[in-house]
Amino acid sequence: MPYSHHSHSGQFCKHASGSLEDVVLEAIRQGFEVYGLTEHVPRYHAADLYPEEEGVTPEDLLELFDHFVAEAHRLKDKYAGQILLLVGLETEHITSDDLDHLDALLSRYREKIQYLVGSVHHVNGLPIDFDRPTFEKAVTSFGAGNDQTRTEAFLCEYFDLQYSILTRFKPEIVGHIDLCRLYTPELRFAGYPQAHAKLERNIAYAVGYGALFELNAAALRKGWATAYPGEDVVELVKSAGGRFALSDDSHGPHAVGLNYGWLSEYARQMKICSLSVLTEAETPNASGRYVRARLAPERWWEHPFWSNVAQQPKQV
């Protein structure tokens, strides 16, 4: 302990900071044993670029991703004696084109991409985690009707996009499964029966092929009282027999292990007594990639790392 399966750096992501090597060095300094490097896959349409990417082209993003893979493996080799670095990626699903391009990308990097964080960040072509106005625009894009009807349609679309990623690629890590309520953390899926059924479907499918559900500390720095997923989704995953893994979803060295003390407290509050971690394997998993999940040590919270971070104030 500890582990993280999801990270970014300013070197390869415009809304992050710092170099990838600085992220790795900070993880080593803090005593991480396994750390996942998972840059966003490229986006392939100019309309999908973010404001901070002004002047960048989709072709630039593809070239940048090539540089990420090369640098991640350089660091993996350089620091092999100090930390196990796993090289992966975080998915996008804006249109079906993104999934076709991901197929091609994975074929190109068959031996280089060790695992996937399966995430959705857009609904109806609009980013849902960029800012509140854009999130609200995504919700209201579902046409006429009352707030309940629009929200239900929005949530259903989010979970359908997520399901497409799960069924097509079987990502080893299910990324921030309830990001669709980033700006409405008080929302409970039980109040939206159709969306709730789709969420249960997604969880059951992911459990069936052995995915891990990340406990993602990023929600804590975004004002949530919990990590992703919220309490109701944690209970659904637990009842389905799902397993959890830790992620800091860092966007620079300053966020490596950020709020991990609070993350640990949340996990114990939710009675998550067993955690899993990805490690390298000699035989392929259900996705055809060479990693597998193993259990973290029992009573993982007794590792000295957790006493070092337990008293740190929550940062938002």
Q: Domain coordinates of the chain in residue numbers?
A: 3-309
The tokens describing 60, both together, are 């630039």
Higher pLDDT, 50 or 169: 169
**Does residue 75 register a pLDDT over 70?**
yes
Q: What percent of the chain has pLDDT above 70? A: 98
At 23 the pLDDT is 97
**Does residue 315 register a pLDDT over 80?**
no
**Does residue 140 register a pLDDT over 90?**
yes
Q: Who contacts 244 (Cβ-Cβ below 8 Å, separation ≥6)? A: 212, 213, 214, 215, 234, 237, 267, 272, 274, 275, 276
The second-level CATH assignment, the architecture, of 3-309 is Alpha-Beta Barrel (3.20)
Query: What does the alpha-carbon distance between residue 208 and residue 219 come to, in Å, rounded to a whole number?
Result: 26
* CB 117, CB 173: distance < 8 Å: yes
Query: What does the alpha-carbon distance between residue 229 and residue 219 come to, in Å, rounded to a whole number?
Result: 8
In this structure, which long-range contacts are made by residues 97-103, counting pairs with CB atoms below 8 Å and at least 24 apart in sequence? 97/44, 97/45, 98/41, 98/43, 98/44, 99/164, 99/165, 99/168, 99/169, 101/41, 101/42, 101/44, 102/41, 102/169, 103/168
Q: Summarize the confidence of residues 256-265 as an average pLDDT.
A: 93
Q: Summarize the confidence of residues 94-123 as an average pLDDT.
A: 96
**Does residue 54 register a pLDDT over 90?**
no
- Average pLDDT of the chain? 94
At 310 the pLDDT is 63
**Does residue 14 register a pLDDT over 90?**
no
